[in-house]
A and B are shown apart, each in its own frame.
Chain A
Amino acid sequence: MTSLSQSPDVTHPPTTDVVYDVRNVTLKFGGVTSLSDVSLHMNRGEILAVIGPNGAGKTSLFNSLTGVYTPQEGSILLAARVGDAQTPVLLDRKFGPFSLERRSRKTHEINHLGVARTFQNIRLFPALTALENVKVGVETRQTSGPISAMLGMPWQRREERESTERAYELLGFVGLTHRANDLAGSLAYGEQRRLEIARALGTEPGVILLDEPAAGTNPAEKRDLADLIRKINVEDNISVLLIEHDMKLVMSIAHRLVVLNFGQKIAEGSPEQIQKNPAVIAAYLGTTDDEDAAAEGGTA
């Protein structure tokens, strides 16, 4: 790309190719600083992994990106889908020169801008079937209202049929067709993780944020998951932002990594660069014993 070569700053390529542009974000909870002055960018079409020890602020970053938390400082620009203009996630209501109030776009608005996510602790709708869980996602892109539903209008029926078809397609994509009519709450743990991904994909995102999708799954499931993430990235052209503790998995699928520690970004680069980075090694080795073991277990 010509524009890329023109740009002198390699870490900040031109805006059109950046999905998320995060600058100097700081998020505090009372005395706790979860994110301090974090800047990063995510290129379109890449798998970007965020790693770091427990409590480093990874999930806080996700929550800031999706409007669950409002960082006190910094800016976040989003252009989730190809051809989107950059949209600010954080809004300042200004009164003359004064910044009155800072708020984030609502989570569902950000979702409608093309950002889907999963949760570290699975958050499905346990009393709905797997199919219905995915349908909820698909249907947020539909338009028919309650009146046409009550009257059973033809366009509403068509949308209903379309959403069912799409939901079956997605269940097939994550390999859950046989569980379509089982309650989400009754699925096995790994299946619930995949169902969450299917539900997220139902909203036709340009970027998907996966918070520890492999946590609590067995090695075979981890392999399947890695394939699934690659498939999402390549076939569906969706940029993937991934939090994962399993180093083997991360190193095998991520194009780039960002390392957080105590709310600060300490490194960024390709998997090879990160593995050699002394600051990263120090962060992982300099922590307490059990996290040490976790990191070792991950790389072993």
Chain B
Amino acid sequence: MSADVKTNLKRLLACLGLGVVLALMIGDQEGNQTDFGFAFKAAVFHPRILIFLGIGVLLYLAMTFRPRVAPYLTRAGVRPLAAGTASVVASYGLLNWSDSGNLTNGKLSTLAHGARDTSGISVIGRLFFGSAVPGLYWILFVLAIALAAAAIIVQKSALAWGAAGLSVLAGVWGFVAHEMVRSYLHSPDHSTGAFVALLGYATIASASVTVARTSGSEAATGAFLDRIFGWKPGFPLFVIGTAAALLGTFWASWFSPTDKNTSVFGMSDLFHGYPINGLTSAYLGWLVWVLLVASVVVAGAATWLQHKLLGWASVLVGAVALLISLLSMHNFSRIAADQKFDGAVQAWQNIGTGAWTLCAAFTVLAGAGWMVARKPVDAAADPVSPRPIGSDSLVSPGKSFAFTQAMLVVVLAGALFYPPTATGFWQTVLVTEIGTYVLLAVGLNVVVGWAGLLDLGFIAFYAIGSYTTAYLTDTLPVKPPHWLHLSPLMAIPFAIAICLVAGVALGFPTLRLRGDYLAIVTLGFGEIIRIVAINAKSITNGAQGAFGIPQPVVHLGPLHLKWGQDPLQYWYLLLVFIIVVVMLFRRLENSRLGRAWAAVREDEVAAQATGVNTVRVKLLAFAIGASTSGLAGVFFASQIGYINPDNFVLNNSILVVAYVVFGGMGSLSGAIAGAAVLTWLPEFLKAQVPAEDRQMWIGAVILLMMIFRPAGLLPAKRRAAELSGLDKVYSAETAAVPAGEGM
């Protein structure tokens, strides 16, 4: 009994300690000149510490009564409720609700403070912001989730319907209130807060509806998604596309969002009398509606009837609509730039979210058609097509496959048409951080994830790629032969070839080593390359590095492309690289070599005994990974224009490994997601926490991830099985082998 008390006491203390740590983490970390302990005192000796201690106690209770709590956590509706709660909290606490410096600048709390006493806003809006009851929106929110949680616990559908109604009310009310502020201020607004809150409440509402309609059953999110997406392949995409199209045309701004904020209805008037071409004037007048209706109708028919020919028709209509939209957008934005509308100097500037959303919608609708058109013929009839792990050989695959395909289309549409609507800051981040590291992570995933070789010197190949570009573009002290002056894009094959060789050169002597030893040697290799770059002044120009690496150009017959300063241009170049590499690697993963990599990773001796030439297979992993890194290096050098050894420090190698592990080792989508999230997070946190706290929060996120989702964000099928299946394997073995028979 006393032992029990002791463990409980320990646990309680640990939880309270965690509360204190949280209290310290949230808020400023720095002392000041007169009082170095200022931050600590502010965090701990302040009434707000009680909130954090309360969190600790709650955690303690949750842990102690876990066996009692756990069955509720797996019930239907819990996960969407958590997701919805998270997005509403993020929207209320973190995101901006207003752009305008007029009334307020920033988050909901400041906006509410200003808006609740502004008489120009209707009383409905002011009520939401708390004119009668301060913080009403938080109260509504807590009520809604409390109701939903109660419904999950006691399984009363009346409660669930109540929660659904309340969340719809709170979501819509908030959205309307925000619209009122917008119309009162008369100024354009690009804040996302109200929108995210609406989505969050929609998720909570759907969770509540789920609770109301399924009594007490276990949640089966995967099966649920499979059912939705497998029911009529492409249909969910049709719904998403249609919603996006309506949003893009009826809600979002089309032109000059910071000045005129014209909607699609105002476009014709705005450009009346200007020399836009015939297509554009038709487009702005009526063609856009025809295209919209046509692609929605065809995609709807194709996905509903699951008719292959209609599917192709939908692809065609979507593509044509996209093309015409882009042509018109180019035309009117160029005319506007000629007229210096809103400070524009070249085409594509000042186009609002609406036009880009419509483009994304056309892409998604075409994608819906494509899913129908490419739907596999009845898979059960085909005995040798690959099937997902664990499926009975006689059941058709299809379902989760449809989900993956749909996600692919949505991600592609987002990657194509979100960046133009982002701010310059985010566009730069997208290119220099997110995109570049995604490419690197995809390359390292081959080495670490697939072949299981821990490479801590990966950035060296990035450096080699960059310096190769600098050499071939004649910006290093050593000059290439004059017939070998190349534009950066022409340097790609050379950089890839050199990195292949470098990968083999590093791999050959080191591949006898395993695990930690290999990691140390590769780490040394990375440092050697960097130090050589610093010290070999006559070749690399030492610590100053190379300057004036030219920007990429393409002259291909009639096609002349020249990259300039605009990050957006580089984003599309990078996107092409990423898509090509990912497509090639996807094939590789499911090829002979991909399986051989998995075999070597799982059991090298068995792989050898099965005839796999392990040295060759590992060298190929090194070489292919290295060449991807080299490609990223070429891009980096020509995008940034100057390189020096400081760009290639050990820390970057470790970061790439972290991205791959975070995303899910051995999973392509995981490597992409991991790199994207972990490069996005620090930039996102810039606006949320003090600069000196940033690393701490990133560390906390990684820590939580590794505790609660050790296989990564999007675990690889093969790896996930390895992680969860391994103890099963070994226990089966040890149970079955009589003692003393192991080798």
Chain A positions near chain B (C-beta within 8 angstroms): 54, 59, 66, 68, 106-108, 111-112, 116-117, 119-129, 132, 135-137, 139-142, 144-146, 149-152, 156, 159-161, 163-165, 168, 177-178, 180-183, 185-186, 188-189, 192, 199-200, 202-203, 211-212, 215-216
Residues on the B chain within 8 Å of A161, using CB:
384
B743 touching A140 by the CB < 8 A rule? no
Residues on the A chain within 8 Å of B614, using CB:
108
The answer for the CA separation of A112 and B726 in the assembled complex, in Å, is 30
Residues on the B chain within 8 Å of A185, using CB:
721-722, 725-726, 728-729
A164 touching B611 by the CB < 8 A rule? no
Known: A149-B593, A183-B389, A189-B732. A216 touches B719 (CB 8 A): no
Chain B positions near chain A (C-beta within 8 angstroms): 383-384, 386-393, 584-585, 587-588, 591-596, 598-599, 602-603, 605-614, 620, 624, 718-719, 721-722, 725-726, 728-729, 732-733, 735-738, 740-743
The answer for the CA separation of A59 and B743 in the assembled complex, in Å, is 8
Partner of A183, one of B595, B608, B725: B725
A178 touching B587 by the CB < 8 A rule? no
B592 touching A160 by the CB < 8 A rule? yes
Residues on the A chain within 8 Å of B383, using CB:
168
What 4 A-B pairs are tightest by C-beta distance, nearest first?
Answer: A140-B611, A149-B591, A127-B722, A185-B729
Chain A minimum-CB-distance residue to B729: A185
A121 touching B390 by the CB < 8 A rule? no
B610 touching A216 by the CB < 8 A rule? no
Known: A165-B384, A215-B741, A216-B737. A126 touches B613 (CB 8 A): no
Residues on the B chain within 8 Å of A142, using CB:
592
User: Which residue among A68, A106, A125, A200 has the maximum number of chain B CB atoms within 10 Å of its CB?
Assistant: A125
The answer for the CA separation of A59 and B742 in the assembled complex, in Å, is 11
Residues on the B chain within 8 Å of A144, using CB:
591-592
A164 touching B386 by the CB < 8 A rule? yes
A127 touching B605 by the CB < 8 A rule? no
A136 touching B733 by the CB < 8 A rule? no
B620 touching A108 by the CB < 8 A rule? no
A125 touching B598 by the CB < 8 A rule? yes
Known: A129-B389, A181-B390, A181-B393. A150 touches B584 (CB 8 A): yes
Chain B minimum-CB-distance residue to A129: B389
Distance in Å: Cβ of A83 to nearest Cβ of chain B:
20
Residues on the A chain within 8 Å of B732, using CB:
188-189, 192
Known: A150-B584, A178-B393, A186-B725. A117 touches B609 (CB 8 A): yes
B740 touching A54 by the CB < 8 A rule? yes
Partner of A146, one of B591, B606, B737: B591
User: Which residue among B384, B614, B719 has the maximum number of chain A CB atoms within 10 Å of its CB?
Assistant: B384
B588 touching A146 by the CB < 8 A rule? yes
Known: A108-B612, A121-B733. A127 touches B718 (CB 8 A): yes
Partner of B387, one of A159, A181, A203, A211: A181
A181 touching B603 by the CB < 8 A rule? no
A108 touching B390 by the CB < 8 A rule? no
Residues on the B chain within 8 Å of A188, using CB:
732
Residues on the B chain within 8 Å of A186, using CB:
725, 728-729
B384 touching A164 by the CB < 8 A rule? yes
Residues on the B chain within 8 Å of A200, using CB:
610
The answer for the CA separation of A178 and B514 in the assembled complex, in Å, is 36
B743 touching A121 by the CB < 8 A rule? yes
Residues on the B chain within 8 Å of A152, using CB:
587
Distance in Å: Cβ of B431 to nearest Cβ of chain A:
26
The answer for the CA separation of A124 and B605 in the assembled complex, in Å, is 10
The answer for the CA separation of A125 and B603 in the assembled complex, in Å, is 6
Distance in Å: Cβ of B39 to nearest Cβ of chain A:
47
Partner of B611, one of A119, A163, A178, A203: A203
A156 touching B591 by the CB < 8 A rule? yes
Known: A125-B602, A181-B389, A186-B728. A140 touches B610 (CB 8 A): yes
Residues on the B chain within 8 Å of A189, using CB:
732-733, 735-736
A127 touching B725 by the CB < 8 A rule? yes
Chain B minimum-CB-distance residue to A199: B610
Residues on the A chain within 8 Å of B606, using CB:
119, 123-125
B391 touching A128 by the CB < 8 A rule? no
Known: A119-B743, A142-B592, A185-B726. A107 touches B609 (CB 8 A): yes
The answer for the CA separation of A66 and B588 in the assembled complex, in Å, is 30
Residues on the A chain within 8 Å of B596, using CB:
136, 139-140
The answer for the CA separation of A124 and B386 in the assembled complex, in Å, is 20
Partner of A163, one of B592, B609, B728: B592
User: Which residue among A119, A128, A136 has the maximum number of chain B CB atoms within 10 Å of its CB?
Assistant: A136
Partner of B598, one of A128, A137, A164, A215: A128
Can you name 15 A-B pairs with beta carbons within 8 Å?
Answer: A68-B605, A107-B609, A112-B611, A120-B743, A121-B733, A127-B602, A132-B595, A136-B595, A150-B587, A164-B386, A168-B383, A181-B388, A183-B390, A185-B725, A203-B610
Residues on the B chain within 8 Å of A126, using CB:
602, 721-722, 725-726, 729
The answer for the CA separation of A199 and B728 in the assembled complex, in Å, is 21
B728 touching A136 by the CB < 8 A rule? no
The answer for the CA separation of A199 and B599 in the assembled complex, in Å, is 12
Distance in Å: Cβ of A170 to nearest Cβ of chain B:
13
Distance in Å: Cβ of B389 to nearest Cβ of chain A:
6
Distance in Å: Cβ of B159 to nearest Cβ of chain A:
41
The answer for the CA separation of A120 and B742 in the assembled complex, in Å, is 7
Distance in Å: Cβ of B400 to nearest Cβ of chain A:
13
B733 touching A108 by the CB < 8 A rule? no
A106 touching B721 by the CB < 8 A rule? no
B738 touching A216 by the CB < 8 A rule? yes
Residues on the A chain within 8 Å of B740, using CB:
54
Partner of A216, one of B598, B611, B613, B736: B736
